[in-house]
């Protein structure tokens, strides 16, 4: 019950600290002025780790010497637990909040919008994405026993560039923390000219962690803007695209050790064309491909068409189609379909089979249903 009075300053140019997941090395300066009696005490404190190198969770987050990192505020103990009201400054981000230990450990954090450019220095996982844009933390609260997270993360023009700097991904909207899950709210992702509405959730944040994501086009977009993101499909598919992907991906646990494409599962639905312009597969005629399978007999039939029907063979070899549509089931590194349909003026191709996700290898079979006009043209070649 004796009166308590502490006025302390400490500094070190070569601190080595290891506690839990945190490692610190280098310069540190701290001070506190605590007054009270018995178990009740309070006072201001400050901590400056700018001259220190920090590592959290084996490199998940890190800070180099010289990058700003300061913490200051007020401490208080009421005999039941400790509370710290604080202001945290890391790099260009400024946050404030509170930390309490009673009745449960609770950490509150709020930060005004800050630019994320250069934050790959703090979060190495961002190194391949060269992030730009602004992020804000809206009343995030982490609590233990049981672990939960509430609040929101606001993203404004957050742009990620990976291997294709000419096709960045721009993200706008919110991620709401709801206990053990993160849920998108009015979240949109823009890739080139294609804009996607993003829904779904990351569930079991403090356990297995599973991503369930749905991407849908609010309005049709140009196919080439999407398919050109895949090098093997650049400038090959054209037409208005309506796309809906509902995919799941385990992020932790035994399944997370497998390649991402192997553990991806879900459903994909798309339609290209269906309007006045239709669609186009550059350099591809499914009819020509089909007749190639018949060899010389197929060519003999087609070469006779101009003489017999007065029609150019190019009309039947057109790259254009009215509509292409399909639904795919994704699992085990492959997307499989039973209803892939491409409708041309004079024939319809119906396909079934699979596409390898890693190499886009096709394994499909199907049938070609020809129109009465094309059937009559082919019959005329046999007269």
Q: pLDDT tens digit string along 305-360? A: 544 444 545 566 778 899 999 999 999 999 999 999 999 888 898 999 999 988 88
- Per the DSSP assignment, residues forming a β-bridge with 165 are none
- Per the DSSP assignment, residues forming a β-bridge with 47 are 30, 71
> Would you state the pLDDT for residue 310?
46
> Would you state the pLDDT for residue 163?
61
> Would you state the pLDDT for residue 233?
75
List, in sequence order, the alpha helices (H) in the chain. Answer: 223-227, 260-263, 286-292, 296-303, 305-309, 313-316, 372-381
> Would you state the pLDDT for residue 307?
47
> Would you state the pLDDT for residue 296?
53
The residue among 193, 248, 188 whose CA lies nearest residue 218 is 188
> Would you state the pLDDT for residue 299?
53
**Residue 265 reports pLDDT greater than 60:** yes
Rounded average pLDDT over 264-279: 93
- Dmax (CA) for the chain in angstroms is 116
> Would you state the pLDDT for residue 312?
47
> Would you state the pLDDT for residue 350?
92
CA distance 140 to 190: 26
Cα angle value 354/356/357 (rounded, 5°)? 125
CA distance 201 to 47: 37
pLDDT, tens only, 90-132: 999 999 999 999 999 999 999 999 999 999 999 998 888 889 9
Rounded average pLDDT over 62-87: 95
Give the position of tokens 């886009």.
Answer: 360
The residue among 364, 366, 317, 326 whose CA lies nearest residue 345 is 317
Rounded average pLDDT over 375-383: 57
- Beta pairing class for 3-19 and 106-115: unpaired
Q: Which DSSP letter does residue 104 get?
A: S
Reported as a pLDDT band with limits 50, 70 and 90, residue 382 is very low
Reported as a pLDDT band with limits 50, 70 and 90, residue 216 is very high
CA distance 17 to 197: 45
**Residue 180 reports pLDDT greater than 70:** yes
Rounded average pLDDT over 165-188: 91
**Residue 199 reports pLDDT greater than 90:** yes
Decide: residue 232, CB within 10 A, 0-12 exposed, 13-18 middle, 19+ buried.
exposed
Among the residue ranges 68-72, 227-231, 309-313, the one predicted with the least confidence is 309-313
- Side-chain half-sphere CA neighbours of 371 within 13 A: 11
Rounded average pLDDT over 27-33: 95
> Would you state the pLDDT for residue 300?
56
CA distance 69 to 92: 9
Percentage of the residues of the chain whose pLDDT score is greater than 70: 88
Reported as a pLDDT band with limits 50, 70 and 90, residue 249 is very high
> Would you state the pLDDT for residue 316?
66
Percentage of the residues of the chain whose pLDDT score is greater than 90: 58
CA distance 32 to 28: 14
Model confidence, pTM:
0.81
């Amino acid at each position: 019950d004796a009166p308590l009075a502490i006025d302390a300053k400490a500094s070190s140019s070569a601190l080595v600290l290891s506690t839990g997941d945190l490692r610190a090395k280098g310069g540190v300066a701290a001070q506190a002025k605590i007054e009270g009696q018995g178990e009740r005490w309070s006072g201001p404190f400050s901590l400056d780790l700018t001259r220190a190198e920090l590592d959290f969770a084996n490199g998940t987050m890190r800070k180099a010497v010289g990058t700003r990192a300061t913490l200051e505020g007020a401490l208080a103990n009421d005999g039941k637990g400790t509370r710290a009201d604080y202001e945290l400054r890391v790099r260009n981000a400024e946050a404030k909040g509170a930390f309490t230990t009673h009745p449960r450990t609770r950490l509150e954090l709020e930060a005004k919008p800050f630019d994320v450019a250069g934050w790959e220095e703090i979060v190495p996982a961002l190194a391949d994405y060269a992030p730009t844009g602004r992020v804000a933390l809206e009343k995030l609260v982490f609590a233990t026993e049981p672990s939960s997270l509430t609040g929101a993360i606001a993203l404004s023009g957050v742009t990620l560039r990976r291997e294709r700097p000419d096709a960045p991904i721009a993200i706008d909207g919110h991620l709401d923390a709801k206990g053990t899950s993160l849920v998108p709210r009015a979240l949109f992702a823009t890739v080139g000219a294609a804009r996607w509405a993003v829904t779904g959730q990351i569930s079991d944040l403090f356990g297995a962690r599973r991503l369930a994501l749905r991407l849908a086009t609010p309005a049709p977009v140009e196919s080439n803007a999407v398919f050109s993101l895949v090098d093997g499909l650049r400038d090959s598919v054209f037409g208005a695209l309506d796309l809906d992907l509902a995919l799941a991906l385990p992020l932790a646990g035994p399944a997370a050790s497998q390649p991402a494409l192997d553990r991806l599962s879900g459903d994909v639905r798309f339609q290209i064309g269906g309007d006045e312009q239709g669609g186009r597969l550059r350099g591809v005629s499914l009819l020509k491909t089909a007749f190639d399978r018949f060899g010389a007999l197929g060519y003999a039939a087609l070469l006779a068409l101009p003489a017999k029907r007065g029609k150019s063979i190019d009309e039947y070899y057109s790259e254009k189609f009215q509509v292409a549509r399909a639904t795919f089931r994704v699992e085990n590194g492959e997307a499989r379909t039973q209803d892939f349909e491409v409708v041309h003026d004079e024939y319809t191709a119906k396909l079934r089979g699979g596409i390898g996700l890693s190499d886009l290898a096709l394994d499909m079979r199907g049938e070609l249903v020809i129109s009465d006009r094309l059937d009559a043209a082919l019959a005329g070649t046999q007269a």
